Structures are given as structure tokens and as C-alpha cells.
Amino acid sequence: MKFKILFVLVALVALTRCEDAAERQPQEADKKNEKRGLEHSLGDFGHEPHEHQEHHEHVKTVEVIKKVPVPVEHIKHVPYEVVKHVPYEVKVGVPQPYTVEKHVPYPVKVFVKVPVHVPQPYTVEKKIPYEVKVPVDKPYEVKVYVPQPYTVEKHVPVEVKVPVPQPYTVEKHVPYPVKVKVPVPQPYTVEKHVPYEVKVPVDKPYPVPVPKPYPVTVEKPYPVTVEKRVPYEVKVPVDKPYAVPVEKPYPVHVKVPVPKPYIVHKPVPVTVEKPVPYPVKVPVDKPYYIEKEVPYPVEKEVPYPVKVPYPVPVHVKEHYDEHQDGGQLSGFESGSYEGYHH
């Protein structure tokens, strides 16, 4: 198809060139004739003055015909492929009996999660039971209305005699074996499993190409940034209370319903296919991090006694000796016990 189009294009180009060449030839011939006629029409420039007076030549008039190019319409035939739709019978095998699926609309409840704005901080109300004392006047009078006269029912036991036959029969269940005859064909076949060796032809061992181990690059764990949500207070600017125009009540015409026959929808039991869960393997890039909430201990404040040191006055007898050593010892004893207390 492409080769045909190229061939047609080359032929059209050749035709256009031939037409251009044919148009140029008469134009060149006219130009030559015009030049030849202009040689004798120069007047006094080509001859002397005495000759001009003697010989009066006839002046030639030259008509120049200019051709104006006019666009010519060329009809170009381009072959193209025509695709024609031919209807034909197609036989489709339909299994008998064939199933007919009927679409029965039924309501399905879809739970939509709607975000609810909770102001922060929000108040938490905790109910604490406490005793409420209600003052009651003691003792108080209670009136019970009794009809007069009222009936009093009294239970009087009456002896009832039941006739018992003498002697009376006593039924006792005594188990005993019962033999039931089962018809057995004679003679009957007995199947016995006898093991025997079965030889299976096996081909000789053949070589199996085993691929050699090749190095596998194992990617090291890389750091992954985990975004952690930090709750913070967001202040929303609220305009001051503004006036809201409320429309006045207007009369509404209520149409009184006219009794008409109506369609009653009867529920039809429809078998609904229930999807059976099956394991789906999802490729997971390793290594990956899993955030897991770990319970942590909470310290509870337990009151316990704390020992606070406090000063206790202690009276120490000071001994001053005449010797220097004795004076130093007495001073050391007095100075050491003043700053330290139990």
C-alpha cells in the first residue's frame, strides 16, 4: 500500500514539471520577438540626421500580451482502503439449562465515619456516689382500707380414700437375651488382602544440572523517619454574635391525599454470595519497623514516713586543766559535740 502511494506521488510531480516547462517555452519566444522589433523603433538615436530626413520609415507598433497566472484546480486521485462491514451469523453455544441472573435491589447499610469536633480541653464528668439523707417523719400513719365484711378462707384437711385392688400387680422389667436369625448366603466369599511385590521400571540415574550459588547483595537496614503526631491547641477565630434574619411564617397549601391503588413490594428471598476470606500474600520490603505500644509502669505515690533531723540541746561539762595538752583535749571535745547532734 505504501509503495503504491509513493508511485502515485512521483507521477504527479513529473506531470507538474512537464506543464511548467511547456508554459515557459512560449514566454521566451515572445521576449525574443519583442527585442527584435525594438531595434527599428529607436528613432533618431540609431541613424544620422540627413538620412532621417531623406527616408521616412514606418513606425512599428508592438503589442505586449502579458499572461496572468490563474489557479487551476487539479483533481488528485488517492487510493484508500475501504472497510465494508459484512454481517454474518455467529453461533454461540448456550448451555441447557442456562442460568438467568435477576438483579434484585436491596438496601445496604453503609457506615460512614464523620469527624466530630471535640473542643480542647474538654470536661470529663465522673459520677461519684454519695449518701443523701432525706428527712422522714417517724412514725407516720398508714391507712389500709379493708372491705366490711371481708371473707376469711380457712384450709380444712379432709381424708380421701383411694380404692386399691388386693392383691395388685407389680410390673418388673427383666432383661433377657433375644436371638435373631440373620440369613447368610452359603457359601459366601471372603476377601483377603495378600501383599505382593510390584516392580516399577525406573530409568537409570541421569545428570541433573544444579545451578551454582551466586553472590546475593543483602541491603543493610537504613534509617527511616517516622512522623510522630504532637497534639497542640488550635485557636479558631470566632466572630461576634451577628443578627440572623428569620423569615416570617407563610401559608402552605397541603394537598389532601386521594385513595389510590399503590404497589406493595413483597420481599423475595435472594441468595447472596458471601465472599470467603483467603490468604493474600503481599510483598513487604524488609526490614520494616512496627510500632507497638508497650505498657510502662506508672509510679503511684504511697505515703511513707520521712525522718527529718531536728536539733536537740545537749549539755556537756567542760574541764579546763592547767596543762596545754589537757586544754587542747577539752577544747576538741567541746568543739566536736557542738556541731554534731544525733
| pLDDT digits 0-9 by tens, 14-67 | 888 877 777 776 666 556 555 554 444 444 444 444 444 555 677 888 888 888
Note the pLDDT tens digit of each residue in 176-205. Answer: 999 888 888 888 788 888 999 988 887 877
Residue 10: what pLDDT?
Answer: 84
First CA to last CA distance, the chain: 120
Task: Give the residue carrying C-alpha cell 379432709.
Answer: 158
How far is 221 from 288, CA to CA, in rounded Å?
Answer: 9
The domain limits of the chain are 1-41+52-74
| Residue segments in the chain with a per-residue pLDDT below the cut of 70 | 1, 25-56, 318-342
Task: Give the residue carrying C-alpha cell 536539733.
Answer: 311
Q: Which of 74, 64, 67, 75 is nearest to 25 (CA)?
A: 67
How far is 43 from 56, CA to CA, in rounded Å?
Answer: 10
Residue 157: what pLDDT?
Answer: 92
The amino acid that residue 287 corresponds to is P
Q: Which of 240, 228, 232, 238 is nearest to 121 (CA)?
A: 232
Residue 319: what pLDDT?
Answer: 59
Residue 30: what pLDDT?
Answer: 59
How far is 64 from 35, CA to CA, in rounded Å?
Answer: 11
Sign of CA dihedral 265, 271, 276, 282: negative
Take residue 177 and report the three cell numbers written for it: 437375651
Take residue 110 and report the three cell numbers written for it: 453503609
